Chain A
Amino acid sequence: MKNFTNQSLLLILILFSGYGYIASCTQDAISPLPAAASNAPVITRGTDILLPKSMTVGDTSAWKLDKAHCNVMWSTNYVGAAGLLTGRFNQFGMHDVTDDKMLNYVTAGQPLKDTSWAFYENEPSKTYFNGYVQINQSNTGEPGRDAGCNITTLGTTAIVAGTQNLTVTNLAKIKTTDVKFDPTSNDYIVTLNLTWKGTLAAPLTKSVVGRLKYIRRNQVQFGTSAAYSVFGFQLKFQLNARDFGIASTSISDKVDIECNMNFNNK
């Protein structure tokens, strides 16, 4: 009887062991895993077409550069090895300044209409930009630097009050040669011709590549004023100051440029 009990217990334990090992080797049917999340960037592009036309006031289809709310900034490492030196250009515009327009303009406002651009959100091949800055209008917030070493270092001439100096010594300009979609974001990759004389004998044109961000148009309305629309561009690129004969050791070879342009259709 005792043997029978022992053998029964042994049988139970063997059965349990078998059950345990079989159960541990199986698993319930698992519902299929959900599809893996896509790593592709979410890119949405609209069909906005934005043109300056003749910049007629009141024409809501004509987009005007709101210069008072724009800036063109530069930054470079101080002595090429320290923190950033930064500044902005007080005078700039979006016009294709051809040789015949490289003059001194006696005016406090924009010397040329900001009409040399077009933006097609979904057709970058049709998009183009022209822009310029007046080099002697670099503003670091340190008058001694702006009116002093900057003028000689950058090979230009001092500011003449009431005059917009678009002559060859004081003009740096960009002109797009290619605009295409950035495959990794909503931005655009822009190839530009940068023309600047610097301290060279004649202006030099270098091709640079930048990134253009379109800040989508929106309608705004304040108080009882009529509603209007705005949009923005942000363009970033880099240039090598040494290419243009800038020998100052205070600034690094590489200078970053950031243009923040705002437009409205008032």
Chain B
Amino acid sequence: MDNSFVAYLQLLEILAFFSGYPIIFLLVKYFDQFPGLKSITKILFQSLPFSYGLIGLLFLGFEIRNAYPEFDIAHFQHPYLIFWGILSLLFLVPKLINQSSWSLYHSLVFLLIMIKNVFETYQLDSSHSQIKNYMNIYSISLGFNLAILLLAFLSKILLQRSNPRSDS
């Protein structure tokens, strides 16, 4: 038996972390244009790169847990994609924490992989069970990214309240 099934599962794991981010990002950006929501969406928008960095941190922890105790590179079926995912940690670096558009571009890689796979499997899998898998993962990713964003949002509000001069 080859590693194709393991590779498929590992891909789903990676997508579960990052594929939901772009639509969350774009929704926040969309609601940001309504003046009535500005006060909330501004903080939300500022929280996006930080939340993305947090997701990268959780992803790193997840991969370390998967690799433990052998830490063998052969365990990883998508090393480049994992490396790309871990790069999201850079959005925790102060100089990049305001580069929200970059976080969108970074996460679009994962979403494009998902879109490609969904369209590819549509013709091959008559029961669409693989598409169900992808969409389940996508839903989980949406919820996960939303939860992390809310966490980042609350953290930012608490930080602002404890230090009113803090602006970023």
Contacts and interface: CB of A to CB of B under 8 A. Distances in A.
Interface stretch (A14-22, A95-103, A205-213): A14-22
B30 A30 contact: no
Interface string B19-52: 0001100110110010000000000000000000
Interface size, A (range): 10 to 19
A6 B30 contact: yes
Nearest to A20: B135
Interface string A1-43: 0010011011001101101110110111010000000000000
Contact of B127 (A10, A19, A30): A30
Contacts of B122: 23
Given A13-B111, A27-B128, A20 B134 contact: yes
Nearest to B126: A28
Contact of B22 (A3, A13, A28, A30): A13
Nearest to A3: B33
Interface in B121-144: 122, 126-128, 131-132, 134-136, 138
A245 B115 CA distance: 85
B118 interface: yes
Given A13-B23, A13-B26, A20 B126 contact: no
Nearest to B30: A10
A84 B110 CA distance: 71
Nearest to A8: B26
Nearest to A19: B118
A24 B131 CA distance: 5
Given A20-B138, A23-B118, A14 B131 contact: no
A6 B138 contact: no
Given A6-B29, A10-B26, 18 more contacts: A6-B30, A13-B23, A13-B26, A13-B111, A16-B115, A16-B118, A17-B23, A17-B138, A20-B134, A20-B135, A21-B135, A23-B118, A24-B128, A24-B131, A24-B132, A27-B126, A27-B127, A27-B128
The 8 lowest CB-CB distance pairs between A and B, nearest first, are A10-B26, A28-B126, A24-B132, A24-B135, A24-B131, A13-B23, A20-B135, A27-B127
